[in-house]
Chain A
Amino acid sequence: MRYAILLLDAPYTSQAAHSALRFTRALLAKGHAVDGVFFYHDGVHNAARLAAPPQDEPHLVDAWAELGREHAVPLQVCIAAALRRGLLDEQEAARHGKQGASVEPPFELTGLGQLVDLGLRCDRLITFGP
């Protein structure tokens, strides 16, 4: 089946990000297609490049990035929700006159239209939230 994941909560706040990551890994292990993971609402914090959790805790941001790269799963972050919360890629940082970017590939800032497309294109969209 073709799946899409929607994550609505920040990492280290609730179980949602952990569950979403584990579920996505399980889908891939079972041979399902994951067309994309979309980060919206507080979920955009999962794309925070500068996250530095203690070394004996799971690094959720790195884990998403690794999953995205290894399995070619697009990691799409709602640009409007991200900019509000201080999550900017290089292009947006330059555009807003900010020093330093807080989002880097494989995460990509994109519009909400992508979420709707993703949801309608896949057999299942699974939402993880607080």
Chain B
Amino acid sequence: MQDDTRQGDLLVILRHAPHGSSWLKEGLDVALVAAAFDRRVTLLFMGEGITALLEGQQAGPLGQKGTAPTLAMLEMYDIDSLLVEARGMDALGLTGEQFMLPVEGVGDAEIAELLASHALVLNF
């Protein structure tokens, strides 16, 4: 459900897997900050970015914090519009049951619509 008192729609697209680079982390940071400033935020996980949603991730030997704790906080920031590219899920052989959060699958046509309907789109 979208809260109409919030202004400015932001779509953050996450296309990189966690741990291998800071893209995912820095993309999520923008989403959290925008939400903290009372913007409406939609997250779209695409391609390898979908692996961020996999349950049971840990920090690992590099000492990175990882992104799973951030994803777990999204609800606290009222970011509840979590979308995932259906075609990407198929390509990676993933199903919704493997994810740590409830997400909604979207097709290519819906993604095109999302790009058009958000005032600001940021791609990470």
Contact = CB atoms under 8 A, between A and B. Distances in A.
Interface of A: 6, 40-41, 80-81, 111-113, 115-117, 119-120, 125, 127, 129
A41 B29 contact: no
B122 interface: yes
A8 to B, nearest CB: 8
B99 interface: no
A115 B123 contact: no
B122 A120 contact: no
A41 B26 contact: yes
Interface of B: 8, 10, 22-23, 26, 29-30, 33-34, 36-37, 39, 119-120, 122-124
A98 B12 CA distance: 34
Nearest to B8: A120
Contacts of A125: 120, 122
B29 A116 contact: no
17 contacts: A41-B22, A41-B23, A41-B26, A112-B30, A112-B33, A112-B34, A113-B33, A115-B30, A115-B122, A116-B8, A116-B10, A116-B33, A116-B39, A120-B8, A120-B10, A120-B120, A125-B122
B26 A81 contact: yes
A48 B123 CA distance: 24
A92 to B, nearest CB: 18
Nearest to A80: B29
Nearest to A127: B123
A120 B119 CA distance: 6
A123 to B, nearest CB: 10
Nearest to A40: B26
Contacts of A112: 29-30, 33-34
Contacts of B37: 113, 116-117
Among B8, B33, B124: residue with most chain A CB under 10 A:
B33
B36 to A, nearest CB: 8
Contact of A116 (B23, B120, B123): B120
